[in-house]
Amino acid sequence: MSDVVKLVRHDEVAVVMVDSPPVNALSAAVRRGIFENVKAANADDAVKAIVIACAGRTFVAGADIPEFGKPPQSPGLNEVIAEIEKCTKPVIAAIHGTALGGGLELTLGCHFRVAVLGLRPGAGGTQRRPRAVGPELGVQMIVTGNPIGAPEALKNGLIEEIVEGPTEGAIAFAKKVVAEKRPLRVLKNDDSKLAAAKADRSIFTNAAAAANKKNRGMNAPLACAEAVSWTLDTPFDEALKKEREMFLKLVADDQSKAQRYAFFSEREAAKVQGVPDSTKPRPVERVAIIGAGTMGGGIAMSFANAGIPVTLIETGEEQLKRGLGIMQKNWENTAARGGIPADAPAKRMALIDGKVGLDNVKDADLIIEAVFETMAIKKEVFTAIDAHAKPGAVLASNTSYLNINDIAAVTKRPQDVLGMHFFSPANVMKLCEIVRAEKTAPDALLTAVAIARKIAKVPAVVGVCDGFVGNRMLAARSKQSEKLLFEGALPQQVDAVVTKFGLPMGPFAMGDLAGLDIGWRSRQDRGIKSEIADALCEAGRFGQKTGKGYYKYESGSRAPIPDPEVEKLIDDTCKRLGLTRRAISDQEILERMVYPMINEGARILEEKIASRPSDIDVIWLYGYGWPIYRGGPMFYADLVGLKEIAERLSFYAKQTNDPSLEPAPLLKKLADEGKTFASLGK
């Protein structure tokens, strides 16, 4: 009947086996296959129980995302579940891997669940799940989206039994249910766990507040919390109808579009353009990382987390010991919080071989340099790497701004040199900008992309320019945030607008976190002035590390507190410079924080530093915490409309006498033609 769902008999038990790689997503074909096979098994007198199981690495891991936004095809998931609930014979879900989203909902339609698992929301999940686990855990699971393990699922009544092999375990369980003549448990008719919550509705408001804290500005978790509360006072069928309406509304809004776009953009980013199809990545068995500082340590941790051995190289034993100590402490803290197993820190440390001297790169297939950001030092290090590395090793620099072509030029193998720009903290941040230099060989490039994916990073290929994609766009924003202070805004006003938009931090809080002295020293080196920032540093305000920067900090706290002293310092500086400050609206701040970045993004596309607007968005989503429900700066630009953005940029260029704000030619062209950035790939 179906290619992706088969019916297999084991004595009196019929197994409906879904086999739709890679993750058994609920495509129309899978839904139809389950629907028809369950119906047939229920009609067959020789069948006494039905098991729904999946082949491959996981039970149904969710909806078929490409189907979202297209006309729905019958049968819908609710119809499939209704067919299961209608069965007169026990239906058992055999769960392995993760039962996420629609997959979990499918299991909730079954009378019984047995598992080996982890668990999320959508059709029926807000109504049946609270009936299985009680409303409190039900609402928490749905708003956080955090999967729960099999033992917890068992404890809370989400599953009936933990089994070893999912299918065999479920068949044995099915036989037991038949022999014991257990009554069928149809969750939609079972309100036994809802009573406790009837007295106390605060669990829903608390869960909504927690969701809002975690995903500020995101609609879906709040809507889900509300939907779970319907279990208390809305009849099941009516609640299910309301839930479907809510789901369709959420799926149609810009936040949902943005999230689907982010999903596909990440996938696209992994497909490297401009390399022959036959190109294969080079094998990487051992990695050498040079520098055990902030970045080198974090990068080494990412490799060890993925089980890849690392030679970590420093200039002296002391630096090495310090770096290794920080890594160990970091893992131990995670283990103490239960984030990794207790024996993981020791196992991961064992994968790291600390060494002094650059001759130790000799066994590595990939070498990543993370030493000080000075061209002379980088060149010295690459000359030494070139002398010792084995032929065919890929040589990468983690530089934030420096020209990779110039670095490659000091080696006799520029074809093997590229950038791998990780973000801080490197063991946490997912982005890795892979910088393709003029002479980088296609297979060296693919090696970097493949290894980045292997260590669970999101790679995006970019070209050589000052700051590559992310930091170059950030610089366009920084220029405006600094100017806004001279024109009349305060750090806390600018930061509040940026965080309200959804970024985790505003530019001034970020400056305080990174340390204001770094930029100050670099300005001194280059003979550049930035009066307000300079005055702060001259007053010893280097940011969080000195307890004072654009904000003040209470000891031991990272929470920025607006400081009247800073307001006075800004005021005095402006007076000294003869500048008149004006009131600046939040709307102007938002436009000047975001539109210049978009403009820089357009230039980056023109110069082919990034090959797709979606690559730029991936960089902002995974490297800078751009809110996923806003898709990325280029996606956001398309939503606002390029004509509006070009007009506002022109306006600010004149208002602030800053020709760099004039719309980039590509932006202007698309705006004039009424097109979007998304139209570029088509």
Cβ of 329: how many Cβ atoms within 10 Å? 11
Q: Is 290 in the site for ligand NAD (CB under 6 A)?
A: yes
Task: Name the one range near ligand NAD by CB under 6 A: 78-86, 287-295, 444-452, 493-501.
Answer: 287-295
Q: How near is the Cβ of 625 to ligand NAD at its closest, in Å?
A: 14
Cβ distance to ligand NAD smaller for residue 465 or 535: 465
Q: How near is the Cβ of 311 to ligand NAD at its closest, in Å?
A: 11
Q: Is 227 exposed, middle or buried (0-12, 13-18, 19+ CB in 10 A)?
A: buried
Q: Is 115 in the site for ligand NAD (CB under 6 A)?
A: no
Cα distances (Å, whole numbers) of residue 251 to 71, 189, 329: 12, 28, 43
Q: Is 315 in the site for ligand NAD (CB under 6 A)?
A: yes
Tell me the three state secondary structure of residue 432: strand
Residue from the set 78, 206, 212, 294 that interacts with ligand NAD by CB under 6 A: 294
Q: Is 269 in the site for ligand NAD (CB under 6 A)?
A: no
Residue from the set 100, 106, 370, 432 that interacts with ligand NAD by CB under 6 A: 370
Cβ distance to ligand NAD smaller for residue 542 or 629: 542
Euclidean distance between CA atoms 81 and 123, whole angstroms: 10
Cβ distance to ligand NAD smaller for residue 147 or 293: 293
Quick check: 23 and 4 in contact, CB under 8 A?
no
Annotate 103-155 with DSSP letters as a single string. HHHHHHHSSEEEEE-----STTTTTHHHHHH-HHHHHHHHHH-----HHHHHH
Cβ distance to ligand NAD smaller for residue 380 or 658: 380
Our separate counts of H helices and E strands in the chain read 29, 14
Task: Name the one range near ligand NAD by CB under 6 A: 66-74, 137-145, 420-428, 442-450.
Answer: 420-428
Cβ distance to ligand NAD smaller for residue 75 or 293: 293
Residue 168 CB-half CA count within 13 A: 2
Q: How near is the Cβ of 313 to ligand NAD at its closest, in Å?
A: 5
Euclidean distance between CA atoms 426 and 323, whole angstroms: 14
Euclidean distance between CA atoms 222 and 204, whole angstroms: 9
User: Which among 267, 268, 257, 266 has a CA at the least distance from the CA of 635?
Assistant: 257
Q: Is 296 in the site for ligand NAD (CB under 6 A)?
A: yes
Q: How near is the Cβ of 295 to ligand NAD at its closest, in Å?
A: 3
Quick check: 360 and 288 in contact, CB under 8 A?
yes
Q: One symbol per residue from 373 to 412: x for binding ligand NAD (CB under 6 A), - otherwise; what is it?
A: x---x---x----------------xxx------------
Structure tokens at 289: 């990382």
> Residue 182 has what DSSP assignment?
P
Q: How near is the Cβ of 397 to ligand NAD at its closest, in Å?
A: 7
Q: How near is the Cβ of 378 to ligand NAD at its closest, in Å?
A: 7
> Which residue's Cβ has the minimum distance to ligand NAD?
293
Euclidean distance between CA atoms 446 and 641, whole angstroms: 35
Residue from the set 372, 500, 567, 673 that interacts with ligand NAD by CB under 6 A: 372
Enumerate residues 6+ apart whose C-beta is below 8 A from 340. 331, 334
Euclidean distance between CA atoms 471 and 294, whole angstroms: 18
Cβ distance to ligand NAD smaller for residue 102 or 470: 470
Task: Name the one range near ligand NAD by CB under 6 A: 153-161, 207-215, 292-300, 571-579.
Answer: 292-300
Cis amide bond preceding 425, omega within 30: yes
Euclidean distance between CA atoms 301 and 352, whole angstroms: 9
Q: Is 510 in the site for ligand NAD (CB under 6 A)?
A: no
- Strand extents, DSSP E, 280-347: 287-290, 310-314
Residue from the set 319, 383, 530, 546 that interacts with ligand NAD by CB under 6 A: 319
Q: Is 291 in the site for ligand NAD (CB under 6 A)?
A: yes
Q: Is 42 in the site for ligand NAD (CB under 6 A)?
A: no
Q: Is 206 in the site for ligand NAD (CB under 6 A)?
A: no
Cβ distance to ligand NAD smaller for residue 335 or 409: 409
Residue from the set 34, 177, 239, 371 that interacts with ligand NAD by CB under 6 A: 371
Cβ distance to ligand NAD smaller for residue 127 or 427: 427
Task: Name the one range near ligand NAD by CB under 6 A: 56-64, 246-254, 266-274, 365-373.
Answer: 365-373
Size of the site for ligand NAD (CB under 6 A): 23
* Window 423 to 462, contacts with ligand NAD (CB under 6 A): 423-424
Euclidean distance between CA atoms 96 and 417, whole angstroms: 43
What is the phi-psi region of residue 404: left when phi exceeds 0, alpha when psi lies from -120 to 50, beta otherwise? alpha
Q: Is 292 in the site for ligand NAD (CB under 6 A)?
A: yes
109-120 CB burial, b ≥16 within 10 A, e <16: bbbbbbbbbbbb
Residue from the set 60, 142, 295, 649 that interacts with ligand NAD by CB under 6 A: 295
Residues of this chain that interact with ligand NAD (CB under 6 A) are 290-296, 313-315, 319, 370-373, 377, 381, 398-400, 422-424
